[in-house]
Amino acid sequence: MSTPVITLKQQSRYPLLLFIILIFASLGAAMLVIIPHVMPGDDIALLAGFMLGTGALTIALSYALWRFGLVQWFRSLRWALLLVIVLTVSLIFMNVWVTAKLMFIEYSDLTLTTASLIFAGLTAIAFGFFVANTMTERICQLAIAAEQLARGDLSIRLEAYGNDELAQLIASFNSMARSLQEVDEQKKALEKTRRDLIAWVSHDLRTPLATMRVMVEAMADGVVTDEATVQRYLQNTQREIRHLSRLIDDLFELAQLDVGHIRLSYQPTCLPDLISDTIGTMEARAQNQGVQLQCDIAPDVDTLPLAPDKIQRVLYNLLDNAITYSPAGEQVLLKVYCEEANVRIDIHNSGAHIAEHDLPHIFTSFYRGERSRASDDEGKRGTGLGLAIARGFIEAHDGKIWVTSAPQQGTTFSFTLPLRQAAA
């Protein structure tokens, strides 16, 4: 596929006509100044003819410079600008000198006029040279910075001083470099996440597979023969298979969330009933853990549009997480209330605390602290994806989810759901 090339639009659709109009406008302005003075008609005609001649020469030269891009042939913009200045001074010198000579002034006056024109012309050229240097120096700096940017130095920036187009160009260059640096940082972060994801998945797959292989080989080789041990090995194998099944299901849901292919079947749902069903499911687990599970639902919380299976999954993940990390004798409180145009749900456990350095990463896929690496009393292991999936489901509902934690106060996972479904 060919690379698109952006071409510059011309300033005027009819440049030659514009040049001619400007020349005649200049001639007309000059005649308005000359005619009121007492001058012979032949002199005026001669002067007008000379002006038209030099004007035609100017048109031809400037049109050639524009039409054939002759200025672009120079290796430096500095010399191109200097050429324009020299041509401008030369035109002024020729017009004034020839006009003075045609007016038959005294030889001494013509000499003085010539010297003055030479002095003014050389001074203007020197002035133009330094002005051109001022412009080209900034362009050279921009070119050097662009080369450094092409070599991979995305931190390069230029000082954008002034208010002209070059200053705007430098500001645009800085903005482009800043955007490229941000994209590069995001790319590196994504690459690191990809490597970590592969490492985490490999770890979580290798552990149950190794466990099952050892137990199956022990039974197959006849190392384990008594019925009680065989049954225990079979139960452990079933548990590892369930863990692998949960991991695969979580990975599939997370992949759908990442690519935006998750399907939400919205329907009017009684949120108190959904929460009650979820708590009823978790009640036995909380009792086995020695944790008291309580619920406080405000009376104005009723029906709202949501995908009940996804929100129940979020509630299950958060409650399971709270129960898992609450010591026996502690309390897990689920509180539901309306807050502006949202319903807010807080799940607080009083006996667990998340370290401050872990809080920014708590919803990251496979991010787990050392405690969560270990199995609970029932041998259950988490996949490290539950909180990431919960965040994905809540954000898919146009809600927000966050966590707060403090020593001696416990940890609270909170999320909001809009009272009304956003327009598609």
Q: Between 67 and 274, whose confidence is greater?
A: 274
Are the C-beta atoms of residues 82 and 47 closer than 8 Å to each other?
no
Question: Mean pLDDT score of the chain, rounded to an integer?
Answer: 76
Band of pLDDT at residue 193, cut at 50, 70 and 90: low
Band of pLDDT at residue 370, cut at 50, 70 and 90: very low
| Beta strand residue intervals within 285-409, DSSP E | 292-297, 303-306, 331-339, 342-349, 401-406
Least confident of 56-60, 314-318, 347-351, 381-385: 381-385
Which structural domains are found in the chain, ordered by start?
15-180 (no CATH), 192-259 (1.10.287.130), 267-374+382-418 (3.30.565.10)
Whether the CA torsion 376, 329, 412, 249 is positive or negative: it is: positive
Q: Between 252 and 347, whose confidence is greater?
A: 347
What local confidence, expressed as pLDDT, does residue 44 receive? 66
* CA–CA distance, 421 with 397 (Å, rounded to integer): 8
Band of pLDDT at residue 371, cut at 50, 70 and 90: very low
User: 328: buried, middle or exposed (CB in 10 Å: 19+, 13-18, 0-12)?
Assistant: exposed
Please say if the pLDDT value at position 4 is more than 60. Answer: no
* CA–CA distance, 145 with 6 (Å, rounded to integer): 22
* Displacement of CA 412 from its chain's centroid (Å): 32
**According to the per-residue pLDDT averaged within each range, which of 21-25, 66-70, 198-202, 394-398 is highest?**
394-398
Nearest to 379 by CA among 236, 211, 232: 236
Nearest to 95 by CA among 128, 111, 115, 117: 117
What local confidence, expressed as pLDDT, does residue 416 receive? 92
Nearest to 235 by CA among 218, 215, 256, 209: 215
